Structure 1
């Protein structure tokens, strides 16, 4: 039978600079919210039954220290768009999802944690933003692998790490009402795609 021991949600689009125009996904959602957050939310929802059947299993959400509170009156940033804001909001959404999912997964043997791997790693995303890289990709990879494999994290869930150190995310991540709002919105946006998501709804 198939197993899934570790799921790492790492796909992302950067800020693309201040002057970037607002872009949308094929579904018409603001692109950074769709790619950086909603895609991982949907994929994780679809894979939860397999992860639970494979327990102990781990989910790692690769977020960022760049975080801005979600404005639930304009999540898709239709009123005033800014690429940096779009990126930072999408990354905080990942962390709200991490804390929320950790509560739902209590007792299943599946843990979920998020991290900022390293600042301005030498990646295409950073180079496209015309930033001189500060960190190596290897530094970031080590931090991600720590969450994926370290025995010291057995059973630990709902945490946010800055590199190898446990840290605190933006205050909105610890607001139960905001997390519930994001979950409801996300389930509405992905629609009937996922049997698991319908169950959670």
Structure 2
């Protein structure tokens, strides 16, 4: 079984379609129930619904996956939001966390950690984080951009955070049979996210981004590759932003992430 988040639109829908056509079982996640029903009717895939902008729902999503599945081959953290139509307007998630950081990074971070036991029990298994070539170092004095905000910076920080967490997961999961890798699928594909920030602009096709992502999901040549970042369909991994290699920065990110998740879930129970 392959779990794909953000499966009802754009890249997620493309890879869900291609995986299903190839005979793979897919559990498709989405936020919108109507779009999920349409996807189910079209492809026959199983579906699961949650708004990844609320960590309580991410937690419920993990619970549901663990209840429904006894085997998970691949987790694809694909769901995300772009820099926003108005990049000067700072938005927050339902938990009061900067929205790009919450949806693009923190949701996948928490979901992966909740599903690690199932992935390990299912090994060999993979975690694939759909990140971006657009990366910017996190300022830990203002990680959620409360003092100075820019939508593109928020987006780029969230994507670098994904890569940093990928490296940590790969280290933690060494010798378990579970790999973790990240990629930039393609540049400015014709997706809702891209159209919001760059109306009418497109540089790459969904097929290009989908091919790159499917390679990390399926290619047996990458069965033992872990903790790496790939740029589109370039065969070999490349180096991300230098902060990804900074162990102290990754430690600060882990501590911040765990604190935000714990606070949000405690508040949700009150």
Bucket of the pairwise TM-score, normalised by the shorter protein? over 0.9
Q: Equivalent residue for 1:41?
A: 109
2:139 is aligned to 71
Q: 1:135 aligns with which of 204, 209, 220?
A: 204
Say whether 1:163 aligns with 2:232. yes
Once the two structures are superposed, residues 45-96 of structure 1 have per-residue CA deviations (whole angstroms, 9 ceiling, x without a partner) of 1100000000000000000000000001101100010000000000000000
Give 1:186's match in structure 2, choosing from 254, 257, 262: 257
Q: Is the Cα–Cα contact under 8 Å of residues 61 and 115 in structure 1 kept in the other structure?
A: yes
- Asked if the contact 2:95/2:264 (under 8 Å) is kept, the reply is no
User: Displacement of 1:164 after TM fit?
Assistant: 2.0
Q: Per the alignment, do residues 89 and 192 of structure 1 end up closer, same or farther by CA in structure 2, a change over 3 Å counting? A: closer
Q: CA offset at residue 180 of structure 1?
A: 1.0
Q: What is the CA deviation profile of residues 122-152 of structure 1, one whole-angstrom value per residue up to 9, with x for unaligned ones?
A: 1011111124111111110110110011011
**Which one has the largest radius of gyration?**
2
- Measured after TM superposition, the shift of residue 18 of structure 1 is 5.7
Q: Flag the structure with more relative contact order, 1 or 2, with Cα contacts below 8 A and sequence separation at least 6.
A: 1
Once the two structures are superposed, the pairs formed by residues 1-201 of structure 1 within 5 Å of their partners are 2-17=70-85, 19-131=87-199, 132-165=201-234, 166-191=237-262
Q: Is the 8 A contact 2:87 2:152 kept in 1?
A: no
1:3–1:51 contact (8 Å) kept in structure 2: yes
Which 4+ runs in 1 deviate beyond 4 A? Answer: none
Structure 2, unaligned runs of 5 or more: 1-68, 266-270
CA distance in 1, matches of 2:91, 2:228: 31
Q: What SS does the corresponding residue of 2:138 show, helix, strand or coil?
A: coil
Structure 1 unaligned spans of 5+: 195-201
**Residues 17 and 84 in structure 1, CA contact (< 8 A), matched pair in contact too:** no
**What is the CA–CA distance in structure 2 between the aligned matches of 1:149 and 1:110, rounded to whole Å?**
13
